[in-house]
């Protein structure tokens, strides 16, 4: 990894909850609010933004663990801010505290762990595990 990634480094992003992000299964709307799946997706994305500037061309980051608590609903049309902050890191692992919030409070919170691996080894593993025709 390139130098500069340290505890306390942060990234944030803002989204507006769209109907596609709402809680639904098999095309059936359950609740017109940000689904837990969509929240986790954006938590991973903002965590990815933290590490990207520090990856060497030969490296890749992969999510290996995420723990979240969904605290408040975020209805369709509401703006939600996602933030990731590095709380622990080693040469090959970065742990971020991740949060999602809107004007009424914390929508979700948790931790996201990413491993830093060799890009070549990762893609070799993808090929090894791929279904052959």
CATH code of residue 27: 3.10.129.10
- At a CB cut-off of 8 Å and minimum separation 6, what does 56 contact? 1, 2
pLDDT band of 133, cuts 50, 70, 90: low
Q: What is the DSSP letter of 35?
A: -
Query: Is the pTM here over 0.85, yes or no?
Result: yes
Range of the domain at 36: 10-129
Contact 46, 6 (CB under 8 A): no
Number of domains in the chain: 1
pLDDT at 132 over 90: no
For residue 121, being part of any structural domain is answered with yes
Region 97-110: what's the mean pLDDT? 98
Instruction: Please compute Rg for the chain using Cα positions.
Output: 17
pLDDT: which is higher, 132 or 64: 64
- Report H helices in the chain: 36-51, 119-129
d(CA 68, CA 76): 21
For residue 4, being part of any structural domain is answered with no
| Encoded tokens for 76 | 């369709």
């Amino acid at each position: 990894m390139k130098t500069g990634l340290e505890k306390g480094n942060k990234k944030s992003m803002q989204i507006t909850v769209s109907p596609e992000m709402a809680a639904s299964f098999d095309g059936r709307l359950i609740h017109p609010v940000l689904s837990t799946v969509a929240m986790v997706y954006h938590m991973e994305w903002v965590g990815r933004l933290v590490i990207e500037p520090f990856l060497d061309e030969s490296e890749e980051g992969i999510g290996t663990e995420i723990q979240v608590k969904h605290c408040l609903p975020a209805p369709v049309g509401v703006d939600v801010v996602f933030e990731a902050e590095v709380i622990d890191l080693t040469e090959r692992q970065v742990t971020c505290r991740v949060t999602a919030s809107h004007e009424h409070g914390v929508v979700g919170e948790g931790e996201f762990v990413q491993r830093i691996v060799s890009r070549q080894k990762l893609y070799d593993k993808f090929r090894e595990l791929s279904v052959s025709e």
